Structure 1
Amino acid sequence: MLTNADKINELLKAHQKDFYPLVKYNHKTDFLLLDFTAANNHLTASLLGNTALFAKYIDETLANANAIYGIGGYFEHRTVYARSNHFGTDENEARRLHLGLDIWAPQGTPVYNFMDAKVHSFAFNNNFGDYGATIILEYQLEGFTFYGLYGHLSLKDIQQIAENKEIVKGQVIGYMGSFEENGFWPSHVHFQLMCSMDDKKGDYPGVVRFADKEQWLTKIPDPNLVFSF
C-alpha cells in the first residue's frame, strides 16, 4: 500500500515535465552539489559559528567550480546544525536530518513557484538557525493536496501576501534573504514538500532526529522530483 509521500512522489514524477524551475538557470553545470555532512572536513566549528565566514566558504566553493548555485540536502544527515541550540544539543535528541532541498545563491536571488498554488500560511521564524521569513503554499495535483515550504526568504516577501492568495506557476514567490531575515544563514532557499501541515501554520519541521528517518520518509515527498537540476 502506498504511503502519502509515495503517492505524491508518483504524481510528481508523472507531471515533472510541466514544472517551472525554482530558480533561473541555463545549464545543469550551473549547479554544484554541496556536502554538509561529517565527511566535509572544511566545516569546522569556527567556520560554522560565523555566518559571514560560512557564506564566504560557500561563495568561494561555487566560484572555484564555476557554478552559480549550490544545491542538495534532501534527507542529508548534517553536522552544520550543531551551530545552533535551536536544533538541540543532546546526542540522543539533537536534530540533524535535513528534510528539504537547499539552493544556495546570492542574497536577492528570486525564487519561483513551480505550479499553481494558493498561500497556506507565512511567518517570520526568527530563532538563530531557523527559517527566518517563511512562506507555505498549498498545491493540488490530480485531487491530492500537498504543501511546499519556502524558507530563508526576505521579510518584504511576507509583508505583501495574504492567506489564500493565488500564486500562479512561474510567479516569483520571494527572494533569498539577508542574514538578519533568514535565520542567520548564508543566503539560500530551503524548499520542502509535506503531505500534511499537521495543524501547523507558517512553520513545519525541516530538520529532525536521524532516529526518526523512516517515519519522516512517509510524510515528506522528494523535492528533487520538482526541481531536477
Structure 2
Amino acid sequence: MDRHALFANYINNHPEAIGKVVDFDADHDRLYHFDLTAANKELTAEVFNRPSMFSQLINEKLTNNNCRYGIGGYMEHRTIYAFSSHFDTDDEPRRLHLGVDIWCDAGTPVYTPLDGAVHSFRDNNNIGDYGPTIILQHDLDGLTLYSLYGHLSRTSLEGLSIGMPIFRNQQIATFGDTNENGQWPPHLHFQLMFDMEGRQGDFPGVCKFSEKEIWQKNIPDPGLILRFPDAVNVG
C-alpha cells in the first residue's frame, strides 16, 4: 500500500485523532472559494502586484458573501506568482500551488490538527515567500507525515524548539500581516509532506507545472485533514 493510501486509511480509521487547523464552525461559518488562476479576471497584474489592493479584494469577497474564511489552492495553476522573482527559474517558472490557502484576518489563531513535534521553523523573509514558517512532524501508526504552516506572525516563532511536543488542537501560531508574511494578504498556507527531503524550516509550496506528478507523490491533499464543507463562490 502506498503512502497516500496509508494516510487516507489512517484518517478514515482514526477520525477522533484529527483536530482543527482554524476555528471553523461548520454549523455557522461559510467558506468562500478563491480562484487564483488566469480564469479570475478580477485578479489583474495591478491587483496582485499591490498588496493593499490584493488584500482589499480578498476582504470584499469575504464580506460580500458573508464568509468568515476563504479557501483554495491545492494543485491550482496560478498566474499571480509572476509578481515575485522568488518563483522564477532558468527555464519554466514555478506556478503550481502545492498547499491549501486559508484566508482570514491577521491574528487569526492557527492550531495543529495532529499530535506531533516541532520539526523545524524559520522566517523565510523574502517577497512572495512564506515569511515565518513552522513545520511539524507526526507519526500516524508508523507513517511519517509533516505539516507546514506558512505566512505566520513573527511572534509565532517565539519559544519554539526542535523536538518540542505539540498536541492536537493546540494553538501554535497566528496569521501574519502583510508586512511580515511575504507581502501577501493575511492567510495561512497549510501543506502536508511525507518526506522533507533534508530541508529545515522551509519546503517548496509552489512547483513547476510540468513536474506536478512528481510532487503529488510526496504531497497529499490537505483537505483530508481539514474536512471542510464545500466552499461557495457566488460573486
- TM-score between the two structures when normalised by the length of structure 2: 0.92
SS of 2:223's equivalent in the other structure is helix
Which residue pairs with 1:66 in the alignment?
66
Residues 72 and 189 from structure 1, CA distance in 2 versus in 1: closer, same or farther, beyond 3 angstroms?
same
Which residue pairs with 1:12 in the alignment?
11
Task: Provide the rounded CA distance (Å) in 2 between the counterparts of 1:33 and 1:100.
Answer: 14
- Residue 43 of structure 2 is aligned to residue 43 of structure 1: yes
Q: Is the 8 A contact 1:82 1:89 kept in 2?
A: no
SS of 1:226's equivalent in the other structure is helix
1:89 CA displacement: 6.4
Which residue pairs with 2:187 in the alignment?
188
- Residue 134 of structure 2 is aligned to residue 146 of structure 1: no
Task: Provide the rounded CA distance (Å) in 2 between the counterparts of 1:14 and 1:75.
Answer: 26
Q: Is the 8 A contact 1:86 1:130 kept in 2?
A: yes
1:3 CA displacement: 3.5
Instruction: Count matched residues.
Output: 227
Q: How does 1:27-176 map to 2 (within 5 A)?
A: 27=26, 29-88=29-88, 92-176=91-175
Residues 215 and 16 from structure 1, CA distance in 2 versus in 1: closer, same or farther, beyond 3 angstroms?
farther
Task: Provide the rounded CA distance (Å) in 2 between the counterparts of 1:177 and 1:135.
Answer: 13
Task: Provide the rounded CA distance (Å) in 2 between the counterparts of 1:105 and 1:6.
Answer: 31
Task: Provide the rounded CA distance (Å) in 1 between the counterparts of 2:52 and 2:2.
Answer: 41
- TM-score between the two structures when normalised by the length of structure 1: 0.95
Which residue pairs with 1:206 in the alignment?
205
1:95 CA displacement: 0.4
Identity of aligned residues (%): 46
Q: Is the 8 A contact 2:88 2:94 kept in 1?
A: yes
SS of 2:149's equivalent in the other structure is strand
Question: Cα deviations across residues 16-38 of structure 1 (Å, max 9, x unaligned)?
Answer: 45311211122365211110011
Q: Is the 8 A contact 2:17 2:168 kept in 1?
A: no
Question: Cα deviations across residues 154-185 of structure 1 (Å, max 9, x unaligned)?
Answer: 11111221110011111101000011221110
Task: Provide the rounded CA distance (Å) in 2 between the counterparts of 1:34 and 1:103.
Answer: 10
1:4 CA displacement: 2.8
Task: Provide the rounded CA distance (Å) in 2 between the counterparts of 1:89 and 1:204.
Answer: 16
Q: Is the 8 A contact 1:138 1:146 kept in 2?
A: yes
Q: Is the 8 A contact 2:131 2:152 kept in 1?
A: yes
Which residue pairs with 2:231 in the alignment?
none
SS of 1:173's equivalent in the other structure is strand
SS of 2:150's equivalent in the other structure is strand
Residues 192 and 67 from structure 1, CA distance in 2 versus in 1: closer, same or farther, beyond 3 angstroms?
same
Task: Provide the rounded CA distance (Å) in 1 between the counterparts of 2:146 and 2:38.
Answer: 30
